[in-house]
A = this chain, B = another copy of it.
Amino acid sequence: MTNTHDVAHPCGKCAFYKESVWQPVEAGGMGVLARGFTRKPLIANQVVFAQDTESQGIFCVSAGLVALRTHNPNGTSTLLRLAYPGDVIGFRSFLANAKHKTEARALLPSRVCIVAHRDANKVVRGNPAVLERLAARCISEIDTNHERIIATATTSNKQRLFDLLQRLMATHGERVNAHMRMQLPLSRSDLADLIGVQPETMSRLFTRLRHDGAFVVSGREVQMPVASGDRNAG
């Protein structure tokens, strides 16, 4: 039998503990939380959950990078979100008690922490503060989606790719002299699915950005001048 009164918080040593949706769980629910908790390492390309499968619980990315993608009926796919450490995924299906509408797949070697569905349910029902934090994640997802809808409607594909590469560089890049350099975590095809164009167009967008002098690109290696953050892709 598990001793509930001296179980350590399973997220206690995580760098994102303070912001964790599970942080508000106290002694009473800790046993259940600890029982449902799993840590799972992922190799690049490994699927975390597949589209149209039942929710296994709530996932939290603790290392690496996970892509959320929907496979469309017509064979195409759309990248809806990149999930970084600290991000919670799979909460939509969990809260709606429905099947996943997206597939989650690691783009880099990663790790996720999982709280199994049954236990997550118990913890959430016993602890409104957890539900509040989940709601906050929903709101943040809504904000991100709105930004994307607005960006798609108001800025050019080239500009949006420029902005995306900037953000990726801020996360994945390292400074080398007067340049930032990164290894792109996404294929051209995934970038196309993220911007919403065909792969051929993505290739041409790269050509144009390179021609503008915004980037030096070779395969997945990308360099940009440090100061170019405020430049406009036209």
Residues of A within 8 A of B (CB): 70, 72, 74, 76, 78, 80, 92, 95-96, 101-102, 125, 128, 131-132, 134-136, 138-139, 141-143, 145-146, 148-150, 152-154, 193, 196
Q: In angstroms, how far is the closest chain B Cβ from the Cβ of A20?
A: 18
- In angstroms, Cα B148 to Cα A193, docked, is 15
Looking across the interface, which residue of chain B has its beta carbon closest to that of A79? Answer: B153
Looking across the interface, which residue of chain B has its beta carbon closest to that of A152? Answer: B152
A-B contact pairs, 29 of them (CB 8 A): A70-B146, A70-B150, A72-B150, A74-B154, A78-B153, A78-B154, A80-B150, A95-B135, A95-B136, A96-B136, A96-B139, A96-B143, A102-B146, A131-B132, A134-B135, A135-B135, A135-B138, A138-B139, A138-B142, A142-B145, A145-B145, A145-B146, A145-B149, A148-B149, A149-B149, A149-B152, A152-B153, A152-B196, A153-B196
Known contacts A152-B152, A154-B74, A196-B153, A135 near B146 by CB under 8 Å: no
Task: Evaluate contact between B142 and A131: CB separation under 8 angstroms.
Answer: no
**Contact among B72, B78, B101 with A143 in the assembled complex (CB-CB below 8 Å):** B101
Looking across the interface, which residue of chain B has its beta carbon closest to that of A127? Answer: B128
- In angstroms, Cα B76 to Cα A72, docked, is 30
Q: In angstroms, how far is the closest chain B Cβ from the Cβ of A156?
A: 12
- In angstroms, Cα B130 to Cα A128, docked, is 11
Task: Evaluate contact between A149 and B80: CB separation under 8 angstroms.
Answer: yes
Known contacts A128-B128, A131-B131, A146 near B74 by CB under 8 Å: no
Q: In angstroms, how far is the closest chain B Cβ from the Cβ of A91?
A: 9
- In angstroms, Cα B149 to Cα A78, docked, is 9
- In angstroms, Cα B78 to Cα A57, docked, is 35
A193 contact set on B, CB distance < 8 A: 153
